[in-house]
Chains A and B, each alone.
Chain A
Amino acid sequence: MTYAEMTKRFRHFFRLPLTPIAVKLNSDETANITSPMRYCEMVRKSAAYGTTFTATIDDISCASAELALGFTEPSYGEVYPRIKPANIDKITVAPLDKCEFEPDAVVVIGNASKLMLLAATLAKVKGNMIESKFKGEFAVCGECTAIPVMENTVNLSLLCSGARMFSDYRNDEIVFGFPLDSFIELTESLKEESITKALCGCLMDDLPTRVVDSILALGFTKGTDHFLGRFKNEIIRLYIPKDEKGKSTSVTLHIPVKFKDTNAAEKALDMTADLFENTLIYRRRDNWIDVVLLIELHESINRAAMRGEKFEAIINRGIEVMLDNVAKFKRKVAQ
């Protein structure tokens, strides 16, 4: 995937108005800053207007950024975070989709709700929590550039007063800094998850996945509105009816039995009245009789399906009852 493709996918997925920014330390580009700027200002301008900036130490108007980006060593004590050793002489900041170099870091600006989604997606990809270090100082330069470069880790920053006061960052904006590999890994994993595999693109029911999975585990497969499965030599249909309020507290099992014609089906239906106990319901549809078993769960299907073996036992017992009774029914009506 090219950087332009990555940018498109990333911005589309996270609905970001600003472009992710590629940062290159010690770049080969020619310095192009007309008057000194803050590094964080270059980053935001680049993200908003698509401008590429290449700066030397003389072009940086913020002492914190000079230190954090490794242009100078601290005169006394230690400064954290910073690029070490301080051997940087030029830095390029460019929109990722336009960059023709391999970035050392990628900086992403967004509001809290969009970067929350980013964090959630990143956590899924990484399989763990997002740990961040921030203190409201040295934000874009240190927390979002130096830390990703030096520690090879993604870092979140709530920005610093310099960025918010002088560099045009909005009150609701925060920033993520990525080492390049982490950004690529995240971007390549982005997929617009379809909520359904249905051909029409619609959800046809509101059955939770665990309910569907418990039914599939019994040997059924899912049709559009119901489940089907072959048990012994019969295809049994399982349907989850809803009451008028939309609650599901029962399951019905169905085996349609075919007859030569409507009259034959009608005769067979007459026989059912005094042949069998009232466990099953027999309903004629044209030349078919639907044999139906209603299984009352006495609780919602969602809860019942969580009961594992107990649920399996209830349905399997129903399947046995269906098979026995339909076999008897077929023997009787065939006489």
Chain B
Amino acid sequence: MNLDIYNNLKRGVESTYINLNPIQRGGVLTAEARKAVLEFADGYSVCDYCFESRVDLVQKPPVRNLSADIAEFLNMDDVRFTAGCRHAKWAAMHMVTEPGDTIVLDSLAHYTSYLAAEANQLKVVEVPHNGYPEFTIDPQMYAEKFEEVERKTGSLPALALLTHVDYRYGNVADAAAVGKICKEYGVPFLLNTAYSSGIMPIDGKKLGVDFLCASGHKSWAASAPMGILATTFEWSQQVFEKSTIRGDWSGRGFTKKEVALFGCSPVFGAPVMSLMASFPAVVKRVKHWNEEVENARYLASQLERIEGFHQMGVKPTEHTLVAFETFPFYEVSATTKRRGYFLYHELKKRKITGVHPGMSKNFKLNTYGLSREQVEYVADAFIDIAREHGIKVGAST
């Protein structure tokens, strides 16, 4: 065992670089959160003044207030913190479905949506997307799938899950339309907002959501692992059901502990405190969503000046996560020593990181939180790389 490898741990990504990593932009900590993380880095450090046996009820630091404020911010009734969005999905499924039930989900869903279903022994029925090049989900297909499930199983699905913004193309699904269909059919509606809440305005009631899952480390400027499960009063008791188990010999019981959260939300230190410290900034930043989208559209328009570059998904993009086809870069990669890694290195030279090493045929970027100057710099960098490798670049429109 070589223990030296655990010394002087460094991330290897310079803080001065522009990071375009699609999963990292919304999770960049605020300065306040960075301070809070250090302050509350020790395990169970949030529990100094725990008088209620549950982290979500701790009043100093104000975790209890944070739960209520986040519920208000999302226009939901009740909130708990979870070990990531995936845990929130698992918990909601676990508490409102039975093994063997069927759920309907969009075919662009994150793999953890499928795995959460699998872990709960649920069957999944997918709502198809419309294919290349847009890959959009038609809300009406949810109704069709509900009826198909009812025809095949004799009952409606136990749950419908929609990925609000898909991780592959950054398309913003029409959650309100799906919510409306779910209400009409009486199917509980779970919205995965990993790429939306915390960076864009979300109103759970308007969207007709029963369960809203969020990712603190993806979109709320929080440290990992941090998730949020928000629900309505209608479901709150069922989802956050208290323990009823008793020790057969000792008679012990744990009646304040919530089953799906292993008693007490598993975020006892840095994650929940980073979420708390960033929350004021998050409340403000969602008001600037349109500017963020404008930046992404600008980058897409600039990259599409490069011959053969083409933005996939809905156009113009409605989100800061954007997927591009970049076939000419792939052709270049065949002629360079670094092969597919040439783009990664060319960008690194220009102090840009986040495009996955080895990707040149197609890749995703996220511009969230970058200033216009930074976005312009990124656009210029791509155009420079294209020109340097003999790829035509059209005029700026």
Contacts and interface: CB of A to CB of B under 8 A. Distances in A.
Given A224-B168, A230-B331, A285 B134 contact: yes
B325 A223 contact: yes
B361 interface: yes
Given A200-B111, A230-B331, A224 B133 contact: no
A217 B310 CA distance: 24
Looking at chain B's contact residues, the main secondary structure is loop
A288 B310 contact: yes
A307 interface: no
A290 B314 CA distance: 13
Interface in A240-261: 241-242, 244, 246, 252, 254, 256, 258, 260-261
Nearest to A262: B316
Contacts of B327: 228, 230, 235
Interface residues of A, number: 28
Contacts of B8: none
Contact of B356 (A199, A221, A237, A290): A199
Nearest to B314: A285
A114 interface: no
A244 to B, nearest CB: 6
B133 A286 contact: no
Nearest to A197: B358
Contacts of B154: none
B132 A225 contact: yes
Interface string B321-335: 000010110110000
Contacts of A228: 325, 327, 330, 361-362
Contacts of A261: 397
Range for the number of chain B residues in contact with chain A: 20 to 34
Given A230-B331, A237-B132, A256-B133, A223 B310 contact: no
A200 B331 CA distance: 23
B128 A237 contact: no
B304 interface: yes
Interface in A158-197: none
A223 B168 CA distance: 12
Given A228-B325, A288-B315, A221 B359 contact: no
Contacts of B314: 285
B316 A223 contact: no
Interface in A21-47: none
B390 interface: no
Contacts of A275: none
A288 B312 CA distance: 11
Interface in B110-145: 111, 128, 131-135, 144
B149 to A, nearest CB: 13
B397 A199 contact: no
B308 interface: yes
A84 interface: no
A239 B134 contact: no
Contacts of B359: 199
B136 to A, nearest CB: 11
A9 interface: no
A242 B130 CA distance: 9
Residue from the set B128, B132, B144, B314 with the largest chain A CB neighbour count within 10 Å = B132
B168 A254 contact: no
A226 B328 CA distance: 16
Contacts of A199: 356, 358-359
A202 interface: yes
Contacts of A241: 131-132
A292 B131 CA distance: 12
A200 B356 CA distance: 11
Contacts of B328: 235
Nearest to B126: A246
A254 B132 contact: yes
Given A221-B330, A237-B325, A285 B315 contact: yes
A244 B361 CA distance: 29
Contact of A224 (B315, B316, B362): B362
11 contacts: A199-B359, A223-B362, A228-B325, A228-B361, A235-B308, A241-B132, A246-B128, A256-B133, A258-B310, A261-B397, A288-B310
Interface of B: 111, 128, 131-135, 144, 168, 304, 308, 310, 314-316, 325, 327-328, 330-331, 356, 358-359, 361-362, 394, 397
Given A221-B361, A235-B325, 16 more contacts: A200-B111, A221-B330, A223-B325, A224-B362, A237-B325, A239-B131, A239-B132, A241-B131, A244-B128, A252-B131, A254-B132, A256-B133, A258-B304, A260-B397, A285-B134, A288-B315
- State the 8 A-B residue pairs at the shortest beta-carbon distance, nearest first: A286-B315, A239-B132, A285-B315, A241-B131, A223-B362, A235-B327, A226-B132, A228-B327
